[in-house]
Each structure stands twice: as structure tokens, then as C-alpha cells.
Amino acid sequence: MTISSIQQLLKFIWLQPFTLLLSIVFLFFFYKWLQFRTVSRKNLPPSPPKLPILGNIHQLGTQPHRSLRLMSEKYGDLMMIQLGSVPTLVVSSARAAREIMVTYDIVFANRPMSKKGERLLYNYKDVVGAPYGEYWRQMKSVCVLHLLSNKRVRSFRSVREEETALLIEKIRQAETTPVNLSEMFIEFTNDTICRVAFGRKYDGKGDGIGFNDVMKEFNKVLAEFNVGDFIPWLAWIDRFNGWDAKVDKIAKKFDQFLEKVVREHQDLLNNCRKYEDSNNDEKMKDFVDVLLDVQRDQTPPIDRDSIKALILDMFSAGTDTTSTLLEWTMTELLRHPIVMKETQKEVRDITGEAVDVKEDDLEHMVYLKAVIKETLRLHLPVPLLIPRQSTQETKIYGYTVPARTGVIINGWAIHRDPASWDEPEKFNPQRFLNSPTDFRGHDLQFIPFGAGRRMCPGISFAMASSQLLLANLMHKFDWELPGKAEVDSMDMSESFGINMHRGTPLFAVAIARSAASVN
């Protein structure tokens, strides 16, 4: 063999892996091009230009709800974008939302899958993220009939009133010192649901388990972006940068906490049998007790992971959203003193000489409920709602929506659509006083809890807690900004995550009514 032939052989051996790699890359992009040609022949909804690999991810920014509304103003209320390799339909009007959530609700009743959801939500054994089907129907039935029925919600009345009184006392003790209402609202909602779900608080002082800290970590990682869910062939980046390990650690930590709680309840039920007379003790049962009863009585029985997944839903869906609503409602009341005075007048007139506002009083507080509705309209806690996914190819307004298309419903944009609302950017509770518009899923211009089959089942629970606390805050205190600052100086920036909190904590000064009346 000559030196020349040896050199050629070595060159071939060296180039072979490179040639193979080029061939694979070529075939990959050729396949994608064929897919694109096939899809492009269909009449898809209008779409903004996109980058290779990223698609339109780079256009979302830090405020996706605002960015998507701007894009929809150019491309329409039914717009197709590409999030990495995931085609996604963006819905930005009440008429388009009706097609998704009513007309073709069953087609769009699925949820998109993700690595994050699989690890954190017990492989989607919860009710929020479970795929549409028989299992989801079973879990939804458990929630509606056993956990969030009107009877069950009323049974926790004393818990709500006690936690409200505790918060009021903390504010009273601060006297004229500014209080961090954002922090207090988070603590209030977490403690309330902790008692409702577990029968007691887990604050980390006596049992070593700080529930609030665990929940904060969970919500933070659930809101984080990870590459693998949008660009699967780059999923190795999540392993390389430690994201996978972080998710596994938090999932394990939360599971250990929930397992400890469930085991404590199971031991108590087995050893004491304190709930044998269900008629007398029904009001004493917390969520874990109820789910253990369901596990025992239902055929087929729900398993341990399903119990923990449902409990997790109650927290992830019920704590942060309620505290966000409370935070923005107090923000708007501080920003609009005339609205606050009107709210205080209604609450105080109805309550009369009573020391506290009770839940029976809430039925008559029409203006307070209008204030809460208007806050939900302007500051939707989950501005993009919970994503959906199509199960089959569908035609909407002449456009083709392929199967397995992700769906984002921009509730924030719908709530500020001039086609549905007069002066949509203005905070005006009056608009709800003589209007039948409600948030029960019938009015698609107002969908803070969604609509259709996947609508949030916890409306009654959320409203009971929010209305009672806000009524008592209006009943017992007058409010002003720290340093008697002008309302126009308030920071109204948003912090986008799973829920849309204020960008900065809300501080305010509470003046007890007795002190205010003297002045």
C-alpha cells in the first residue's frame, strides 16, 4: 500500500463521522421541510415570522400576556405561533374563546404534557393537569362532590373566620407602622388552606416542616422555563445546567411532606376511628380525611399518589391565586379612594354595630363583590389561563387547527378587549352593578376561572375566603399609603409567573376605626 493510498484511507476514516453527522442533520431538516410543506398547504391561522429552532419564543419577553396581545392586534384574535417545536394557537377575544371553550370544548379539553408536570404532579394524577378521559372525570367528580361542594365549603367557615381574625389582629398590632399586605395575604391563604386540607398548620416551628417554604419552591420551579419541553432534541441542556436535578429534588421534598401528612391521618383513622359517626363529625373532616374515606369506599379505589396529587392541586390552585386577588384588590382600593369609601360604607352599613363581619353578611355586599369582579377583570391572577391541547384536527372560522396543537387563551387580553368592555383600561366596579356578567363560565368576555369542562371547580372556596377578609379589612380600618404618598405614585408593575403578582410588595398603613373617628 502506497503512502498516498494510506493518506486517503486515513482521510476517509477521519471524515466518515463528520459526513455521517452532516447526513443526519440534512435528513432532519429535510424531514422538517416536508412536514412544513404538508402543514403549509392547510389554511392555518395567521402567524408572525419566526426564527429557526426558537420559533416565536424570543418575542414573548417578560410579560407574555402583553406581548401576545400586541401580536394579536396585528395577526388576529386567532393566531398561530411556534414555541420551539410546539405549534400553539393563541386566542385573544371572547368570540374565539367561545369556539375553544364551548363549541369545540371536548376537542380542546386536553392538557399539554411536559417533563416538569410529570415530575411535580405525580405523572399527571391530579385534576388540573390530567389528560382528558375517564381518570380525569373520576378525579373531577371527587373534587366537585367531596372537596369543593357548597356543603364542604360552608363546613370550613370557622377556619376562615379564625384566620381572618388572626390577620386583623396582626394589622392592629402594627398600629401606624406600614404593613406588608402582600406577605400577609400569602400567609393568610396558605394557613387557611393548610388547616382546611391537613387539619392544622405546618409552619416548621414544632414539626420541622415549613409548608410555606416548600410551597414557594414548588411554585417557583413550576413557573420556570426549561428547554426540553419546547425543544426536545436540546433536552440535554436541562441535565447539563442542573434544572432536571433541581426539579427532582423539589418533587421529592414535596412528596416527603405530603406522605408524612397522609400517613399521620391514616394512622389516626386506623387507631382512633374518631369519624365513625360521619353525620355528626362531617364538619370536622379536612381534605385528607375526606380523600381517605373516598379511597376506602370508592370502586375502583384511588391510589396514594392520586390523593397526594389532588391535595397538591388544592394548594397550587388555591393559595397563590387567592393571595394575588387580595393583593390587587387592595392595590386598586388604595389607588381609588372614592371606591374605597363606597366599599367601606356598604360594609359598615350592613354590619352595623357588630364587631366582625360574618359570612352571612357577605350575601348583601353587592358593591364589594363588584370591586372583586373588576379586580379579576383587570388583574387576572393567571393571565394566560392554563394551556390546552387539541386532540384532533379542527376547523375554526375557516382555519385549520391541527391535532396536538397547544392552545393559549389570553384571558388578560380578553378582559381588556374594547369590543367587550367600555373604557377597558379603567378600574370601574360600577360596570358590574347592573350587569348579569359573571365568572361562572357563561360569559366568555369574563373568564377568570376559565370555562367549559376544564373550568376551575374552586370558585366558591376562593370567593368565600377573599370576600370575608376584604370585608373585615374595610370594616375595621381606614387605609392610606406610607408617608401619605399620592396614589399616582403607586408602583403598578407586574411580576409574571404562574400567577401575576405585583412587581413590588404592597405596603399600606392601617388606621383603626376608633382612632380614625377621634381625628
Tens of pLDDT, residues 350-398: 999 888 999 999 999 999 999 999 999 999 999 999 999 999 999 999 9
H/E segment holding residue 516? helix 513-518
Contact of 47 with 80, CB cutoff 8 Å: yes
For residue 91, the cross-strand partners are 78, 409
pLDDT in tens, 197-256: 998 887 665 555 667 777 778 888 888 888 888 899 989 999 999 989 999 999 998 899
Identify the residue with better confidence: 318 or 347.
347
Residue 319: pLDDT band with limits 50, 70, 90: confident
Mean pLDDT of the chain: 87
The interaxial angle of helices 320-335 and 459-476, nearest 10 deg, is 40
CATH assignment of 134-518, among 1.20.1260.10, 1.10.8.60, 1.10.630.10, 3.50.50.60 = 1.10.630.10
Taking the alpha carbons of 6, 7, 10, 11 in that order, is the dihedral positive or negative? negative
Q: Say what percent of the chain tops pLDDT 90.
A: 65
Cell numbers 363606597 correspond to: 342
The number of beta carbons lying within 10 Å of the beta carbon of residue 264 is 15
Identify the residue with better confidence: 140 or 32.
140
Mean pLDDT across 55-71: 95
Confidence (pLDDT) at 218 = 83
Mean pLDDT across 473-490: 92
Confidence (pLDDT) at 37 = 47
**What does the domain layout of the chain look like in residue ranges?**
134-518
Q: Does the global pTM surpass 0.85?
A: yes
CA distance 80 to 445: 21
CA distances to 182, 199, 200, 501, 507 from 163, in Å:
16, 13, 12, 22, 20
Q: Say what percent of the chain tops pLDDT 70.
A: 87
Question: Which residues, other chains included, contact 503 with Cβ-Cβ below 8 Å and sequence gap of 6+?
Answer: 491, 492, 493, 494, 495
